Amino acid sequence: MSKQHPIVAITGSSGAGTSTVRGAMEHIFRRDGFNAAVIEGDSFHRYDRFEMRRQLELAREEGRNLSHFGPDGNVFEELEALFREYGEHGTGKRRYYLHNAEEASPFKQEPGTFTPWEALPGDTDLLFYEGLHGGVVTGDVNVAQHVDLLVGVVPIVNLEWIQKIHRDTSVRGYSPEAVTDTILRRLPDYVHYITPQFSRTDINFQRVPTVDTSNPFIARDIPTLDESFVVIRFREPRKTQVDFSYLLNMIDDSFMSRRNTIVVPGGKMGLAMELITQPLIERLVQNGANRVPA
Ligand SMILES: Nc1ncnc2c1ncn2[C@@H]1O[C@H](COP(=O)(O)OP(=O)(O)OP(=O)(O)O)[C@@H](O)[C@H]1O
Ligand SMILES: O=C(CO)[C@H](O)[C@H](O)COP(=O)(O)O
């Protein structure tokens, strides 16, 4: 589905590690001299924090489900419109959701607010989305169809919750109880809108710990890279032109667990991600650059 203005999306739940992976992808762009328009998924929330709290109260009173994982908590239609516009013309608008004082202070705004929409920088080589909904499909909206390379970042769910609790308490100032409530409230939307995306991804990176995480709500530390493996599954190995022998050679202690799945030690996740995605991204940008505009 390659086109003149390619779109690469990293999709994953809250706490999965998409922001962490974004750093690795930005290294690739820098090394290759690619100018990427970066889109943060949280900027497509429907409400700012203050209004979301009000809406949550209303939803509770009316017995409705509302969360940042589902269509009522986000403007999926605007995300799809951005991807369509960027794919066709290389243009579009973006904004940021400012999670904490550190993110908010350069904009002289309050945490939990959005920056104003602004035009994407001109003349970018690709759009890079990182967030919750890069592969979302509902009855009304199909974001996934516009994405040229869709990558899932999916720790097993206990690890995802440990990472979320750890990050939200240490960086975002929430109590463990508040994070647990959020996890519970979001579960229906998690099942209906987050997990189905991982059947649409071209590649999934699933971190699996080798230590006991059976009660994520009392875990004190995030299992380290050395205490985990990463299971990497390719939906269509031929489409992504993956060379498994090369990867097995380059990544010590890696092995194949299925015909389309390679397992690497946790510490090799960054290397695996670069070896796998860099040639794919280069091909997409190259194809885009060679395409004659419509
Ligand atoms: N591979 C990893 N190994 C160890 N810790 C990780 C890994 N990936 C993420 N983490 C940790 O997990 C926490 C959540 O990661 P991150 O902020 O990247 O999640 P996210 O998917 O961007 O979440 P959100 O969408 O809510 O912003 C962070 O504390 C991060 O340091
Ligand atoms: O990480 C998230 C979604 O990916 C946050 O939960 C969401 O952005 C809302 O943030 P907050 O509760 O801090 O207003």
The conformation of residue 50, written as its DSSP 8-state character, comes to H
**Over pLDDT 90: what percentage of the chain?**
87
The conformation of residue 56, written as its DSSP 8-state character, comes to H
pLDDT at 251: 97
Task: Supply the pTM of this predicted model.
Answer: 0.94
Pocket test of ligand 1: the residue of 136, 163, 204, 206 to mutate, having most ligand atoms within 8 Å of its CB, is 163
Could you give the C-alpha distances from 156 to 149, 190, 216, in angstroms and in order?
A: 22, 13, 11
pLDDT at 253 over 60: yes
Half-sphere exposure of 59 (CA within 13 A, CB side): 14
User: Could you tell me the distance, in angstroms and rounded to a whole number, from the CA of residue 113 to the centre of ligand 2?
Assistant: 11
pLDDT at 9 over 70: yes
Q: Quick check: CB of 124 below 6 Å from ligand 1?
A: no
151 and 201 in contact (C-beta within 8 Å)?
A: yes
pLDDT tens digits along 198-229: 999 999 999 999 999 999 998 889 999 999 99
pLDDT at 290: 67
Strands (E) across the chain are located at: 7-11, 36-40, 93-94, 118-119, 126-131, 149-153, 203-209, 228-234, 255-258, 261-265
Amino acid letter, residue 157: V
Q: Which ligand is nearest to the CA of 43?
A: 2
Q: Which domains does the chain have, with CATH numbers?
A: 7-290 (3.40.50.300)
In order, the DSSP letters of 218-279 are: T--SPPPGGGEEEEEEES-TTTTT--HHHHHHHSTT-EEEETTEEEEEGGGHHHHHHHHHHH
pLDDT at 2: 45
The radius of gyration of the chain from alpha carbons, rounded to an integer in Å, stands at: 19
CA 117 to chain centre: 21
pLDDT at 44 over 80: yes
Q: What is the mean pLDDT of residues 230-257?
A: 95
pLDDT at 291 over 70: no
CA distance 193 to 93: 24
pLDDT at 294 over 50: no
pLDDT tens digits along 71-85: 999 999 999 999 999
pLDDT at 19 over 60: yes
Atom of ligand 2 nearest to the CA of 13: 4
- Helix pair 269-290, 18-32: axis angle to 10 deg: 50
Q: Quick check: CB of 42 below 6 Å from ligand 2?
A: yes
User: Could you tell me the distance, in angstroms and rounded to a whole number, from the CA of residue 68 to the centre of ligand 2?
Assistant: 7
pLDDT at 289: 72
Q: What is the mean pLDDT of residues 6-28?
A: 91
